[in-house]
């Protein structure tokens, strides 16, 4: 139906000029200027089916001072273009493209011409490319013209771009090189080549790169390679890769193979070496073998070399690798064995069996493991001391696993020596951290020397970028080992040092535990910061659909039910807890073994020598209600994460006993709270004065 | 307002190199104890990252990579200073990411720039030999995604896309549950999301603030005057820059859906998107949007509804409709939420045990060392982004697209195929 209407409109458009009458804009166009959005929206919808005759009148609206009208007009034009671009709408497409082309006229506002270029990119064809290409020379519209020609997939668009190369600005010329390379317009090669000697270096380079992307070899250009290689060899060598892949696309695999091989022989960095090996592997080139074997000892490339050799379908790989084994150094022997095992080579089993007697421990370790057998502890330990870094790391991982098993089997002394062996090796911090964690678990005074050395190195100037995990592990080991030394006073002093100086919460927590083991009241640190450390908890009470907020499970305005709470069939009793963490966050999830959609009450007795104005600083997850001496003083109904000191509640402690009661709500996931007492000026009150130890 | 000179394209490679060499005199980022000593960490033991784009999400990622970050880069000087303050230590900093890529002491880059930069910067980083952690969505066009994947493969680089839902416990639980057939065959997945907002003020266009290099912020995107309403964060609501929620949260939800249903290597056959374009304000992403992805093998429909039908209290998520019931997955990004029953499910020993990521960033760093493919490898990231990009094309041309999965092109629709690629501005091309 709409097609008939469109043909009618088209015919009308043809005859009206002949009759000397001005074409009336389609009625809906007026709707685009309506102040009412629903009318504008209807007009936008109508545009699509009206098509070409509506383009010019709508385009007139693009110059409107009203942003809403401009937006409606833009949407309407986009609808027309989308509609005319339907797969079965060729006549409409041509007509709309022609109308859009008319909008490129210099008499039109720049914004209108820009919009037309963008739309022509979606619908234009060979009939429009010359008009578009002419704008490549207009600085204000050149980028949009290039983009439009980039999108138009016809040969004519590429020809127009090539034709413009000589007449545009140097800046635009570079853009044309890029566009032609992307379009794989090989007809551009002859036109681009002269720019390899351009006075502007960037033009020369971009010409080179475009030619490489079009499949020209960088060493087969009408300029000597030195012209580029001397200036930026890495950039020059990258051209080989582009050219090689372009040649694969063109079916010239032999050319591509030679380029990859050139790159493999003269790489400028690990990226290009890996890329060259991957390219040779993609082509299953026999040239891969020698090049890849040459990279087995390069830390950043060796895995690519091993992977490509392990998976390539190239005749003779197995034999070549086998032949190389006797001549290779231990690290390379290991890699070669891994390759043969991955390839399931016919001789792999026999070779591996023989290699179990290799003079090098790292080779013996690999041979045993590739055969599915366990290497000896001594071989692993020797490998830790002297081997390629990657084999050393592997041995460390295996040795750590064994040390944990030994510790769990009860042989702490042997485990200690194994952990120390790893901690003494040159390894990445994550592995050393695991070793120090093991030393911390064992906690033997025999490890004093090694942990003292590591601890001292943490504060050395060059260790400023130690990972937190490594530093925490060393600090835990330090606390644990010192706590085990026979001089109790010295032990306590050293463990306190961690609590007082460490920035690692995990290490502080660990050291606090060690202080407890030494019989020290570990709450002192939290208390000095004003945290309430001793609580009694009761619950968990139900909190389905957030029902607990505002609901009483006992009368909070009365003294606490010290004997517990009876609700329907359930009996709830108080339990006392003590929290020495800094900050002293009570983990209710841990105290009540999980729990969702529940709540608990936490009560603390605070004894004040005199009436004192204080502030409670609270953090709760999720919401809370708070009472002091049976009077509600605070509430926060919504769920939230726990942030220490998030809420401030000003209060007065009366002389004698005071009861702080907090109902902590729980919806899902994390659940906890903490509370601090500070003076009016915000300075912490040592809660040892309010909650004296028994 | 006249169009300014394109500074990006005006800057020659030579002048860039000159500045790079000067910049190289800045702090070197060396791992601790570079030479290695007995009992001390050895050489090259830590992956050193360079961070490109350190506003918003980039700041979050700086926290995540806090022990790896060795260099920061941003076109906004305020972002750059905030990043240096956050790091609290000496670090190399620059405005132009190409300077960062030229540094030999950077192993990997973390890209958290606006979406329109992801493709170009990932390709350039791979060519410079860097591994890449790139924020989602991977790309803004299908051609860009293909270029990212091809370059990563050609150079053997590790590229992780930041759809971190796959590294969450609850998405893993859902994946385990569904892949072990607990709901039987899945016939439909209905994704929901709140509508895109309308707004932005076109009259705010003007001069960019002094701290911002607007030309470099735009990079490959078509030139337009500076407007704060489509700059930082708000670029999300422009079709050609951020593409709306479907490219933002859709890249999260579709990632988890694909993973749960083992669809990473399966494309839909047909895609139909409809939407309501805003006729007020600056932003041009559709407010409401409905997309239907039809799969032939397996027979499945995935829908995206803005607003759609909510399956839980979350702003977005997905409902899996199976033969034996439904599974609701709330969220899809760093926060994925399923019911306790799903979490509690343990597959039989001989059942399907999907890879359990140790954390999205950790997984990436592990893979940089092992050279294995990460949990959200660029190939999967590209294929997830392709769903979003197909929806964008279908919406723009206003018709159903038949998709050729082999060639990643649209069947018999030349206009739609023109939208597989967006020409880059100035020198910024993939």
Give B317's strand partners.
B192, B330
What does the CA dihedral A191, A197, A199, A200 come to, rounded to 10 degrees?
70
Using CB atoms, pick whichever of B39, B153, B279 lies closest to residue A72: B279
Average pLDDT over residues A253-263: 95
CA-CA distance, A187 to A184, in Å (whole number)?
9
Q: Is B159 on the interface with A (CB under 8 A)?
A: no
User: In chain B, which residues have their Cβ closer than 8 Å to the Cβ of A270?
Assistant: 129
Q: What is the overall mean pLDDT for chain A?
A: 92
Give B93's strand partners.
B72
Q: Is B419 on the interface with A (CB under 8 A)?
A: yes
Encode pLDDT of A398-434 as tens digits.
999 999 999 999 999 999 999 999 999 999 888 999 9
Do A289 and A339 touch, CB atoms closer than 8 A? no
**Cβ neighbour number for residue A320 with a 10 Å cutoff:** 16
The DSSP 8-state label assigned to residue A661 in this structure reads: E
Q: Is B124 on the interface with A (CB under 8 A)?
A: no
Contact criterion met (CB < 8 Å) for A457 and B40: yes
Q: What is the 3-state secondary structure (H, E, C) of chain B?
A: CCCCCCHHHHCCHHHHHHHHHHHCCCCCCCCCCCCCCCCCECCCCCCCEEEECCCHHHHHHHHHCCCCEEEEECCEHHHHHHHHHHHCCCCEEECCHHHHHCCCCCCEEEECCCHHHHHHHHHHHHHCCCEEEECCCCCCCHHHHHHHHHHHHHHCCCEEECCHHHHCHHHHHHHHHHHCCCCCCEEEEEEEECCCCCCCCHHHCECCCCCECHHHHHCCCCCCCECHHHCCCHHHHCCCCCCCHHHHCHHHHHHHHHHHCCCCCCCCCEEEEEECCCCCCCCCCCCCEEEEEEECCCCEEEEEEECCCCCCCCCEEEEEEECCEEEEEEECCCCEECCHHHHHCCCCCCCCCCCCCCCHHHHHHHHHHHCCCCCCEHHHHHHHHHHHHHHHHHHHHCCCEEEECCCCEECCCHHHHHCCCCCCCCCCCC
Encode pLDDT of A533-582 as tens digits.
999 999 999 988 778 999 999 999 999 999 999 988 889 999 999 998 88
In this structure, which long-range contacts are made by residues B402-405, counting pairs with CB atoms below 8 Å and at least 24 apart in sequence?
A: B402/B269, B402/B270, B403/B267, B403/B268, B403/B269, B403/B270, B403/B271, B405/B266, B405/B267, B405/B269
For residue A17, pLDDT over 70 is answered with no
Residues 323-342 of B with CB under 8 A from A: 340
Strand B270-275 to B289-295 pairing: antiparallel
Taking only Cα atoms into account, the Rg of chain B, rounded to an integer number of angstroms, comes to 22
Q: Is B3 on the interface with A (CB under 8 A)?
A: yes
Average pLDDT over residues A160-189: 97
For residue A220, pLDDT over 60 is answered with yes
Q: List Cβ neighbours of A220 (8 Å cut-off, separation of 6 or more).
A: none
Cα-to-chain-centroid distance, residue B146: 14
| Percent above pLDDT 70 for chain A | 95
For residue B24, pLDDT over 90 is answered with no
Q: What is the overall mean pLDDT for chain B?
A: 90
CA-CA distance, B297 to B402, in Å (whole number)?
15
Closest CA in chain A for residue B69: A465
- pLDDT for A6 equals 46
User: In chain B, which residues have their Cβ closer than 8 Å to the Cβ of A426?
Assistant: 36-42
Look up tokens 């439009």; give the residue: A148
Do A491 and A482 touch, CB atoms closer than 8 A? yes
Encode pLDDT of A130-159 as tens digits.
999 999 999 999 999 999 999 999 999 999
For residue B15, pLDDT over 70 is answered with no
The DSSP 8-state label assigned to residue A559 in this structure reads: -
Give the number of A-B residue pairs with CB atoms closer than 8 Å: 178
What are the CA-CA distances from residue A511 to residues A445, A581, B17, B385 (Å)? 15, 10, 52, 48
Nearest 5 degrees, angle CA A398-CA A401-CA A405? 140
What are the CA-CA distances from residue B69 to residues A6, B30, B62 (Å)? 61, 11, 7
Token pair for A273: 């070496």
Q: How far apart are the first and last CA of chain B?
A: 30
Closest CA in chain B for residue A429: B41
Strand A534-542 to A598-608 pairing: antiparallel
- pLDDT for A313 equals 94
Higher confidence at residue A569 or residue B296? B296
For residue A4, pLDDT over 90 is answered with no
Closest CA in chain B for residue A279: B154
> With bands split at pLDDT 50, 70 and 90, how would you rate the model's confidence at B44?
very low
Sequence-ordered strand ranges (E) for A475-622 = 534-542, 565-567, 570-572, 575-578, 586-587, 598-608, 612-621
Give B270's strand partners.
B294, B402
Strand B336-337 to B401-404 pairing: unpaired
Encode pLDDT of A472-498 as tens digits.
999 999 999 999 999 999 999 999 999
CA-CA distance, B52 to B97, in Å (whole number)?
6
A182 min Cα distance to partner chain B (Å): 8
Do A64 and A70 touch, CB atoms closer than 8 A? yes
CA-CA distance, A361 to A334, in Å (whole number)?
10
- pLDDT for A461 equals 63
For residue A310, pLDDT over 80 is answered with yes
Average pLDDT over residues A304-332: 95
Closest CA in chain B for residue A72: B279
Q: State ipTM.
A: 0.90
Strand order in the sheet with B401-404: B336-337, B325-331, B316-322, B186-193, B300-306, B289-295, B270-275, B401-404, B409-410
| Percent above pLDDT 70 for chain B | 90
Strand order in the sheet with A631-636: A575-578, A534-542, A598-608, A656-666, A624-628, A631-636
Do A377 and A402 touch, CB atoms closer than 8 A? yes
> With bands split at pLDDT 50, 70 and 90, how would you rate the model's confidence at A694?
low
For residue A613, pLDDT over 90 is answered with yes
Q: Which of B7, B28, B42 to mutate to test the interface with A (most CBs of A within 10 A)?
A: B42
Average pLDDT over residues A101-120: 97
Using CB atoms, pick whichever of A41, A206, A424 lies closest to residue B279: A41
Residues 350-379 of B with CB under 8 A from A: 370-371
For residue B38, pLDDT over 50 is answered with no
Average pLDDT over residues A661-676: 92
Do A586 and A624 touch, CB atoms closer than 8 A? no
What are the CA-CA distances from residue B233 to residues A13, A204, A637, B61, B136 (Å)? 46, 38, 31, 16, 14
pTM listed for this prediction: 0.83
**Cβ neighbour number for residue A529 with a 10 Å cutoff:** 17
| Percent above pLDDT 90 for chain A | 81
Contact criterion met (CB < 8 Å) for A427 and B42: yes
Token pair for A243: 């050219």
- pLDDT for A468 equals 84
Do B138 and B145 touch, CB atoms closer than 8 A? yes
For residue A271, pLDDT over 90 is answered with no
- pLDDT for A463 equals 52
Nearest 5 degrees, angle CA B302-CA B144-CA B111? 95
Token pair for B101: 């890529």
Token pair for A286: 């026999």
Higher confidence at residue B429 or residue B301? B301
- pLDDT for B347 equals 97
For residue A296, pLDDT over 50 is answered with yes
CA-CA distance, B251 to B381, in Å (whole number)?
8
For residue A256, pLDDT over 90 is answered with yes
């Amino acid at each position: 139906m709409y097609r008939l209407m469109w043909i009618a409109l088209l015919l009308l458009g043809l005859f009206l000029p002949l009759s000397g009458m001005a074409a009336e804009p389609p009625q809906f166009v007026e709707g685009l200027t309506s102040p009412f959005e629903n009318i504008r929206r209807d007009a936008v919808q109508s545009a699509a089916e009206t098509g070409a005759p509506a383009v010019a009148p709508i385009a007139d609206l693009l110059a409107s001072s009203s942003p809403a009208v401009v937006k409606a007009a833009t949407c309407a034009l986009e609808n027309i273009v989308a509609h005319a671009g339907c797969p079965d709408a060729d006549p409409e497409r041509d007509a709309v493209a022609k109308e859009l082309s008319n909008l490129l006229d210099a008499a039109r506002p720049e914004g209108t011409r820009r919009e037309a270029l963008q739309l022509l990119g979606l619908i234009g064809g060979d009939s429009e490319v010359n008009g578009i290409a002419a704008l490549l020379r207009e600085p204000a519209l050149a980028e949009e013209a290039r983009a439009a020609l980039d999108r138009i997939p016809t040969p004519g668009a590429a020809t127009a771009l090539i034709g413009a190369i000589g007449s545009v600005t140097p800046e635009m010329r570079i853009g044309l090189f890029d566009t032609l390379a992307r379009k794989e317009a090989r007809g551009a090669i002859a036109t681009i080549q002269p720019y390899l000697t351009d006075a502007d270096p960037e033009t020369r380079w971009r010409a080179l790169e475009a030619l490489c992307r079009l499949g020209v070899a960088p060493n087969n250009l009408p300029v000597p390679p030195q012209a580029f290689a001397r200036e930026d060899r890495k950039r020059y060598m990258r051209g080989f890769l582009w050219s090689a892949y372009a040649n694969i696309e063109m079916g010239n695999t032999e050319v591509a193979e030679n380029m990859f091989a050139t790159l493999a022989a003269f790489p400028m960095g690990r990226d290009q070496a890996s890329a060259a090996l991957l390219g040779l592997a993609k082509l299953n080139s026999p040239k891969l073998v020698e090049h890849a074997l040459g990279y087995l000892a390069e830390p950043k490339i060796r895995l690519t070399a091993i992977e490509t050799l392990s998976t390539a379908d190239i005749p003779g790989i197995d034999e070549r690798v086998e032949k190389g084994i006797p001549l290779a150094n231990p690290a390379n022997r290991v890699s070669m064995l891994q390759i043969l095992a991955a390839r399931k080579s016919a001789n792999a089993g026999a070779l591996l069996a023989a290699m179990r007697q290799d003079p090098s421990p790292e080779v013996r370790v690999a041979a045993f493991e590739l055969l599915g057998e366990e290497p000896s502890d001594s071989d692993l330990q020797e490998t830790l001391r002297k081997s390629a870094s990657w084999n050393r790391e592997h041995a460390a991982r295996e040795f750590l696993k064994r040390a944990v098993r030994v510790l769990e089997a009860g042989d702490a002394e042997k485990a200690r020596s194994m952990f120390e062996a790893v901690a003494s090796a040159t390894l990445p911090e994550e592995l050393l951290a695991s070793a120090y964690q093991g030393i911390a678990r064992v906690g033997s005074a025999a490890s004093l020397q090694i942990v003292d050395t590591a601890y001292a190195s943490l504060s050395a100037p060059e260790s400023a970028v130690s990972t937190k995990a490594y530093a925490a592990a060393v600090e835990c080991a330090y606390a644990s080992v010192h706590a085990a030394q026979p001089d109790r006073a010295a032990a306590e002093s050293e463990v306190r040092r961690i609590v007082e100086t460490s920035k690692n919460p995990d290490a502080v927590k660990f050291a606090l535990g060690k202080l407890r083991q030494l019989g020290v009241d570990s709450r002192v640190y939290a208390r000095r910061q004003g945290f309430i450390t001793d609580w009694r908890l009761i619950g968990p009470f139900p909190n389905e659909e957030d029902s607990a907020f505002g609901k009483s499970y006992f009368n909070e305005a009365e003294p606490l039910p010290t004997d517990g709470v009876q609700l329907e069939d359930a009996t709830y009793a108080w339990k006392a807890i003590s929290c020495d963490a800094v900050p002293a966050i009570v983990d209710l999830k841990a105290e009540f073994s999980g729990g969702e959609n529940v709540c608990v009450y936490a009560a603390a007795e605070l004894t004040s020598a005199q009436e004192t104005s204080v502030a409670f600083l609270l953090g709760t997850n999720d919401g809370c209600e708070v009472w002091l001496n049976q009077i509600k003083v605070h509430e926060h109904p919504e769920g939230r994460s726990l942030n220490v000191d998030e809420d401030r509640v000003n209060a007065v402690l009366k002389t004698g006993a005071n009861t702080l009661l907090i109902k902590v709500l729980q919806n899902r996931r994390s659940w906890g709270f903490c509370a601090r007492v500070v003076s009016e000026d915000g300075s912490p009150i040592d809660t040892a004065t309010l909650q004296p130890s028994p | 307002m006249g169009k300014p000179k394109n500074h990006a394209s005006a800057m020659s490679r030579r002048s860039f190199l000159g500045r790079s060499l000067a910049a190289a005199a800045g702090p070197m980022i060396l791992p601790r104890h570079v030479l290695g000593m007995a009992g001390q960490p050895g050489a090259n033991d830590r992956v050193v990252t360079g961070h490109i784009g350190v506003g918003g999400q980039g700041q979050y990622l700086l926290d995540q990579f806090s022990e790896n970050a060795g260099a920061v880069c941003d076109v906004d000087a305020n972002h750059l200073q905030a990043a240096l303050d956050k790091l609290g230590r000496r670090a190399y900093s620059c405005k132009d990411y190409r300077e960062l890529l030229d540094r030999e002491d950077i192993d990997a880059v973390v890209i958290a720039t606006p979406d329109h930069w992801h493709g170009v910067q990932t390709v350039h980083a791979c060519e410079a030999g860097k591994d890449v952690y790139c924020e989602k969505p991977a790309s803004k066009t299908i051609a860009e995604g293909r270029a990212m994947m091809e370059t990563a493969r050609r150079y053997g680089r590790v590229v992780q896309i930041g759809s971190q839902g796959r590294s969450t416990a609850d998405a893993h639980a859902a994946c385990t549950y569904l892949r072990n057939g607990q709901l039987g065959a899945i016939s439909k997945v209905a994704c929901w999301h709140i509508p895109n907002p309308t707004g932005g003020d076109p009259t705010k266009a003007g001069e960019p603030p002094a701290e911002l290099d607007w030309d470099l912020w735009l990079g490959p995107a078509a030139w337009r005057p500076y407007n704060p309403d489509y700059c930082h964060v708000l670029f999300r609501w422009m079709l050609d820059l951020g593409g709306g929620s479907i490219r933002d949260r859709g890249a999260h939800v579709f990632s988890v859906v694909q993973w749960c249903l083992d669809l990473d290597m399966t494309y839909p056959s047909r895609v139909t998107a409809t939407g309501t374009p805003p006729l007020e304000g600056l932003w041009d992403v559709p407010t409401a949007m409905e997309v239907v992805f039809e799969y032939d093998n397996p027979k499945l429909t995935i829908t995206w509804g803005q607003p759609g039908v909510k399956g839980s209290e979350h702003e977005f998520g997905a409902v899996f409709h199976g033969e034996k019931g439904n599974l609701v997955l709330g969220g899809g990004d760093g926060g994925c939420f399923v019911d306790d029953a799903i979490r509690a499910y343990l597959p039989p020993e001989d059942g399907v045990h999907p890879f359990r990521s140790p954390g999205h960033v950790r997984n990436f760093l592990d893979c940089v060392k092992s050279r294995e493919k990460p949990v959200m490898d660029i190939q999967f990231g590209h294929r997830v982004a392709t769903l979003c990009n197909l929806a964008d094309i279908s919406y723009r041309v206003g018709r159903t697209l038949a998709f050729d999965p082999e060639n990643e092109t649209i069947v018999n629709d030349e206009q739609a195929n023109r939208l597989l690629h967006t020409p880059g501005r100035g020198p910024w091309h993939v």
